[in-house]
Amino acid sequence: MENLNEVLEKLTEFLKSEVKTETIIGQQFQLGEFTCVPVINVGLGLGTGGGEGKGNSKKTGEGEGVGAGGGAGIGMGPVGFLVTNGGEIQFIPTRTSKGLGALVEKVPDIFERYFNKEKEPVHA
């Protein structure tokens, strides 16, 4: 069995070579005068555990034991597109947000409106 460092090294090499937007949903493309660049989200989880045992249990007899296990999971998917047209860049999400997510998405617009309002002269 390989040691943990070797496994992590192989996993890192796999992620470097395979976990790219191009391998998940494709490369950038033109849509009329717009250039669309796909954006992905990648999540990785790793877990390990182990245990030992010694004892004189009357129910199971005398003995020793060792156990170990591990697991990993990876999730990938599209989150949106960066769309450019001339000098303008905009992010277009693939999913619509509700609740707190929608509020977080609106924060830049709210700040922009607030600061633009402060710059406007006051009319009597």
Residue 124 domain-assigned (yes or no): no
Q: Which domain holds residue 107?
A: 4-119
- Residue 96 per-residue DSSP state: -
Give the span between the Cα atoms of 46 and 8, in whole angstroms: 10
**Whose CA is closest to 79, among 62, 65, 96?**
96
Q: Band of the pLDDT at 104, cuts 50, 70, 90?
A: low
pLDDT at 53 over 50: yes
Residue 103 domain-assigned (yes or no): yes
Q: What is the mean pLDDT of residues 5-30?
A: 76
pLDDT at 66 over 80: yes
Q: What is the mean pLDDT of residues 1-30?
A: 75
Counting the structural domains of the chain, the total is: 1
pLDDT-above-70 percentage for the chain: 69
